[in-house]
Structure 1
Amino acid sequence: MENNKPDNTELEPGKAHIIVDIIEYVPNSVVIKTIIRKSTGNISIMSFDSGEGLSVKTSPFDAFAQIIEGNAEIVIDNVSNHLESGMGIIIPAHLPNYIKPNGRFKMIQTIIKSGYE
């Protein structure tokens, strides 16, 4: 079950933050909090409760996903990648990808839009 709950409040600039504590787990949900939103890209933190993932999608932009708590399986163009806390992966533009449920985890996703004008 995919239940996205976006939070578009950006973090206070110039102040240090404990990234893993910025977002909480919500039962049966994927929670998304945007940290920075600019015309050239954005950075979001996501929390996934056990059994929650994201369905197949394709983006016109490259993205970088970094696991900050727990572990996850990210499938890119039918290739499975198991990531643990501290690991990251570039998800290339135009390739189908999804996040497979694999227990609770948190991640940061950075989308870069420049260079696609």
Structure 2
Amino acid sequence: MNHGTFEKGEKFEAGKMVEVQEGAIVSRTLIDYPTGTVTLFAFHRGQGLSEHTAPYDALVQVLEGKAEISLAGTPQIVEKGEWLIMPANVPHGLRAIEDFKMALVMIRS
């Protein structure tokens, strides 16, 4: 299988679908429908997203590495294999402690 592309109905390894780039945040949208999105992210160590809100719950699945995610100002560490639901309309931000990859699933309601 080519890890740069995928076909519906074929298995793939999400962590290989996006690569960490020095000093950057890389994203790749796998699904983008009016009802929701699935996006893969790769953060170089030290990179992050400033605090913001979203109108819908968002589910984070950590694929590789470690990051600090703050929810309503309360930081917590997330690592490979862990999941986190970020509630709608709650301020949140992210900082990669080490090279970090995640899948972000947002279902619009």
Is TM-score (shorter-chain normalized) higher than 0.5?
A: yes
- Count of equivalent residues: 105
Q: 2:67, 2:94 → 1: CA distance?
A: 7
Q: In the alignment, residue 67 of structure 2 is paired with which amino acid?
A: A
What is the correspondence of 1:1-117 to structure 2 with a 5 Å cutoff? 11-114=6-109
Distance 1:85 1:70, change over 3 A: same
Greater alpha carbon shift after TM alignment, 46-55 vs 10-19: 10-19
Query: Is the CA contact (8 Å cut-off) linking 1:44 and 1:110 kept in structure 2?
Result: yes
CA contact (8 A) 1:47 1:106 kept: yes
Unaligned runs of 5+ in 1: 1-9
SS in 1 for 2:15: helix
Give secondary structure in 2 for the equivalent of 1:43.
Answer: strand
AA at the equivalent of 1:35: L
Partner of 1:5: none
Provide the rounded CA distance (Å) in 2 between the counterparts of 1:56 and 1:113: 20
What CA distance in whole angstroms lies between the structure 2 residues aligned with 1:11 and 1:65? 21
SS at match of 2:30: strand
Q: RMSD value over aligned CA atoms?
A: 1.2
Residue by residue, what CA displacement relative to the aligned partner does 1:7-45 show, whole Å, maximum 9, x if unpaired? xxx842111101111111111100010011111110000
**Equivalent-residue separation in structure 1 for 2:96 and 2:80 (angstroms):** 15
Identity over aligned residues, as a percent? 32
- C-alpha displacement of 1:77: 0.3
Any gaps of 5 or more consecutive residues in structure 2?
none
Q: CA deviation at 1:81?
A: 1.5
Distance in 2 (CA, whole Å) between partners of 1:101 and 1:22 is: 18
